[in-house]
A and B are shown apart, each in its own frame.
Chain A
């Protein structure tokens, strides 16, 4: 089991292979369909600095954050998957969710030395491994706002890295 602590280094990502099981610790960002396009727009407009969070080496977990906890939504939803390339270009090193990604997204991850990891939808376990949470931006979106949470050893498996996918038949 490999340990990944945010901010994640370029070297740590280079050493990951599809099928590796990992544990993720540190502060990570959470966002999904509603908020990720807004973050992309901020990056395009050069205002991402207003988020107050350095995107370099960060993790984006594709989840809502509600009183019920956190759990992955499908990463191949249009708004989410289309965020993976531009967020990787902006420094995000690991995209955390579930489901198969398209080949062009896997190529984009490789281009920016970023990876995609699949996390089981184990909300109760994740709750015991989540110690802090706060809204970073777009509070009007409620549970779909951009959140920053502190996690300890979230379990995941590398689903796409270096142009390969765990879903390849």
Chain B
């Protein structure tokens, strides 16, 4: 176990909350050069300018700094200990203070946390991370991905069963319909659509999370390209102001499926800053 896990996690969380990856910047540049709608182009340019300012200042891309979601990849001969998980948790706390994260942890018992009557924790570190997802990887590393999930996409995301009628197109049509509805309501677009398909709600949502880890703006599958194209044809545009850039890309992960007429599908229309992600080898 490395003694510097806490500081590595801390700095990686700050990077996740303040940085566009290079393939994302390039995707924005491509969108700006293609977009014909003047208002839409202005929004895209402003969002990219914001990303450059955030990276320069190591400051939050968005004031909704998000809820930390962690994916830990474990190589063949690596081990994860409880102490290591404690250090990761401490690194998250320190990262939230350093970013700084928005203090939006809700205090109190179950009922107080639901109706928000327990008050806000003024410490940014009061925002608990979501349960960690652990998966196997081929490289002999312990690799941590930190993603910061904002509230807007959570409101517009949807996880539900789809009767596929033994036709992939039926599922794609449903994804496109959900995405059009969600993107139109989101406000902070252009989106990256994160899509998971699984056998249960848990698995579909997990696939959606992993899609954001594995997705690349410069590598798109046929299904991903189709979803992006069809949602963009709806002319929703950045911030809903019209134009052809409602969606920058789609990241889709299809898990194992069961012998059944049902697929569980999760669609999260992530905002113009998401996936807010950074990765570190511990």
Contacts and interface: CB of A to CB of B under 8 A. Distances in A.
Interface of A: 19, 21, 63-64, 66-72, 74, 98-100, 118, 120-125, 127-128, 142-143, 155, 157, 166-167
Contacts, number: 97
A63 B187 CA distance: 14
A71 B62 contact: yes
A98 B46 contact: no
B60 A155 contact: no
A69 B59 contact: yes
Given A68-B124, A123-B63, A124-B59, 20 more contacts: A19-B39, A70-B63, A98-B239, A99-B240, A118-B241, A121-B187, A121-B188, A121-B271, A122-B46, A123-B54, A123-B60, A123-B62, A124-B54, A124-B61, A127-B53, A127-B57, A128-B57, A142-B122, A157-B42, A167-B241
B57 A124 contact: yes
B240 A128 contact: no
Contacts of A99: 187, 240
Given A124-B59, A125-B53, A155 B99 contact: no
B269 interface: no
Contact of B102 (A143, A155, A166): A143
B63 A120 contact: no
A51 to B, nearest CB: 23
A113 B246 CA distance: 32
B231 interface: no
A63 B183 CA distance: 21
B46 A68 contact: no
A80 to B, nearest CB: 12
Chain B residues touching A, range:
35 or more
A90 B102 CA distance: 31
A67 B103 contact: yes
A167 B236 CA distance: 9
Given A98-B187, A120-B46, A124-B53, A66 B39 contact: no
Interface in B65-80: 65
Contacts of A128: 53, 57
A69 B63 contact: yes
Nearest to A157: B39
A74 B187 CA distance: 7
Contacts of B102: 64, 66-68, 143
Given A67-B103, A68-B100, A143-B103, A121 B124 contact: no
Contacts of B42: 21, 157
A120 B239 CA distance: 7
B120 A143 contact: yes
A65 B132 CA distance: 30
Contacts of B18: 124
Interface in B209-258: 239-241
